[in-house]
Structure 1
């Protein structure tokens, strides 16, 4: 698994009654043969979770994006295509995960950070590799043999009483108990690479996505978060991710990905770009968010949206000179064709603080022109009147 913020999917679905840690390779259409087994029980609990997920409001409603990502997962999985159901959910963390019942979750945070569809393909192939080789079931069996699962299982089942989504936060605390081993992660990387190549996609994305993610982690302004990521998520240790990059670099022989690939992928996610960026900014890891936005800016597209996101980071961080940096970013943003309406409102607030009432009033009027149905319209209209009264 790449990371585990939705650990319920991993934790509940990794239970199996077999004492052996070797569950072999999954066959297409495979389901639990013993309907009285713990594995079967957890399988059907995952189906309940899936039903809750469909009505949770967290699944992104974008038929074109859904079709592209589902088709990609189907291409990678071959004969197992019919076993998979892909859900793209609005969740800012970099993550994709897959349950043994065939439910695959793809986070918006993953899609935001990827630069090409080939990078997404590698991550989905990695997750399918875990699914194909029954890694989660093998991990559970290993823990069961070590006599460390009883309390965890009992707590999970008790915590699930309030419904699938109400228990996510509770279960997340146990995610580290179900972390895949280094060997399983590297095997999933190898399989993900094989599936990507077999699908005729560019394997260069495999190393690229890890390198970019590592750079973002290195830029984090939240050291505790970095430590937690190293221990519980995609970065078991720094050498782990470096080991993965070395393996992938040594395996890949294709040329780097092209700008055309990046442009095509950005077009696919563009309808969600502002919302996904702001979701990431809301996490208050300003260093990582700045690194992400600046990397995306280097592609030379979506300047208005990305500069607006940078301005939000500076305004939220509030360090010395951050307001000036926010103003500069907003001025660049409103000079671009794709500037969000909110950029004018944010710029007006800075100008008002600087006693530049005329420009503040002007930018608030532009904001209302671009967002005629704005929820704060009455408040903004009152602000314009006040500003224009001070000019007179």
Structure 2
């Protein structure tokens, strides 16, 4: 692999343009655009008729080929089918034309491309507490397509940007389509770079919010779900900054999204207008968790290994507001164990002990509970924990060692 490929990391992927491209991560309008004032500018089966947009679509078709062939994609048909159904539910009149892909990258991000395909990062799925929140993110992304923000932004950028630079970006993004393998992270970083050309204005972001929340409500979801996402994300950023002894960075993802900012206020005002008085909304948390259940351990593990204890602990505690379980308690213990500051071993041991009290505790919770008990001199209890681990995971790579510890 080339030296450039080795330099690409998950963080640099976002810095390379994913954050600029993610529709949910851009600016705020100074005056609220009301949902009832937003109408779709495209219908089902939309195809461009103007020359520059036709050319853009051809390049984006090559981009989609690249995305569809990436080794970073999560291809579980139950999960991908669920996402496809969801965008078909909240995507407005063009809903059936959308395609959606799930990439295993533990960051909050989602991108809508000009031809109607979207890429969702796995870290976004982890952060959603229920289906209503996820539907809100996807509805916003679809809103950019319905209001034709991509081509409007593209034309604006062409007036301001060196056309040769744009051409080079388009040529580079088609690398995999031309048979040049760049590596999966590099490919997705290039996608972020090309999407940085579609910098949505504050007015466009407000339009996507307004039409997205309208479609969300029309599909029967609780409109207030969209504003709760922002509160959670801002809280996570603040927790991460506190752990590092810094102030929350107001640039990048949250450039114009302070918790008291106008976007949060506007989303809440939109939600109040669209909420049906007296209606009891089902946010479909159980259905959501049942769908992502097979990959939820992986999502949590990926997050914990980012080595951002402040963000990880905040995220776990946020998810636990809907109820603790063995998986969340185990990963809480992993946060403390991997941080490894004075007192963290005790905290981790307490979390592992709490985890194994739940019927859904993963096998590794019993392993680390046993190790913690051994360190405390509670040999008999440790052996029982190890025995439980071996029952759940008899072919574990460390099974021989654990059997020896268990006597």
TM category (shorter chain) comes to: 0.7 to 0.9
Which residue of the partner structure matches residue 211 of structure 1? 231
The answer as to whether partners of 2:20 and 2:252 remain within 8 angstroms in 1 is no
Inter-CA distance 334–263: structure 2 relative to 1 (3 Å threshold) = same
TM-score, normalised relative to structure 1: 0.81
User: Which piece of structure 1 moves more, 327-336 or 199-208?
Assistant: 199-208
Which residue of the partner structure matches residue 148 of structure 2? 134
Q: 2:194 & 2:84 partners in 1: Cα distance?
A: 29
The answer as to whether partners of 2:100 and 2:118 remain within 8 angstroms in 1 is yes
Which residue of the partner structure matches residue 319 of structure 1? 341
The answer as to whether partners of 1:122 and 1:206 remain within 8 angstroms in 2 is yes
Inter-CA distance 137–101: structure 2 relative to 1 (3 Å threshold) = same
Q: CA deviation at 1:293?
A: 0.7
In the TM superposition, what whole-angstrom CA distance separates every residue of 1:79-138 from its partner, at most 9, and x where no partner exists?
Answer: 313321122333222222211111122232222222222222221111111111221222
Q: 1:359 & 1:348 partners in 2: Cα distance?
A: 7
Which residue of the partner structure matches residue 84 of structure 1? 98
Which residue of the partner structure matches residue 25 of structure 1? 41
User: Which piece of structure 1 moves more, 261-270 or 211-220?
Assistant: 261-270
Q: 2:45 & 2:247 partners in 1: Cα distance?
A: 39
In the TM superposition, what whole-angstrom CA distance separates every residue of 1:183-210 from its partner, at most 9, and x where no partner exists?
Answer: 2111111111111122222211111111
- Structure 2: state its 5+ residue gaps: 1-12, 22-39
Q: 2:363 & 2:247 partners in 1: Cα distance?
A: 32
- Structure 1: state its 5+ residue gaps: 12-23
For the pair 1:370 / 2:388, whether they are aligned, the reply is: no
Inter-CA distance 180–149: structure 2 relative to 1 (3 Å threshold) = farther
In the TM superposition, what whole-angstrom CA distance separates every residue of 1:4-41 from its partner, at most 9, and x where no partner exists?
Answer: 84957987xxxxxxxxxxxx93343222335xx55434
In the TM superposition, what whole-angstrom CA distance separates every residue of 1:144-195 from its partner, at most 9, and x where no partner exists?
Answer: 2123564254245236533473432355467655432222111111111111
Q: CA deviation at 1:270?
A: 2.4
Q: 2:142 & 2:374 partners in 1: Cα distance?
A: 53
Q: 1:50 & 1:174 partners in 2: Cα distance?
A: 13
For the pair 1:309 / 2:331, whether they are aligned, the reply is: yes
Which residue of the partner structure matches residue 270 of structure 1? 293
Which residue of the partner structure matches residue 16 of structure 1? none
Inter-CA distance 9–289: structure 2 relative to 1 (3 Å threshold) = closer
Counterpart selection for 2:303 from 267, 271, 280: 280
SS in 1 for 2:119: strand
Q: CA deviation at 1:353?
A: 4.2
For the pair 1:168 / 2:182, whether they are aligned, the reply is: no
Which residue of the partner structure matches residue 335 of structure 1? 357
Q: Which has the higher contact order (CA 8 A, sep 6+)?
A: 2
Count of residue pairs brought into register by the alignment: 364
User: Which piece of structure 1 moves more, 238-247 or 249-258?
Assistant: 249-258
In the TM superposition, what whole-angstrom CA distance separates every residue of 1:252-303 from its partner, at most 9, and x where no partner exists?
Answer: 22379868743443333323221111111122221111111112112125x1
Q: 2:188 & 2:134 partners in 1: Cα distance?
A: 25
Inter-CA distance 28–226: structure 2 relative to 1 (3 Å threshold) = farther
The answer as to whether partners of 2:111 and 2:120 remain within 8 angstroms in 1 is yes
Counterpart selection for 1:103 from 110, 117, 126: 117
Which residue of the partner structure matches residue 125 of structure 1? 139
The answer as to whether partners of 2:110 and 2:124 remain within 8 angstroms in 1 is yes
Q: 1:8 & 1:248 partners in 2: Cα distance?
A: 23
Q: CA deviation at 1:340?
A: 0.1
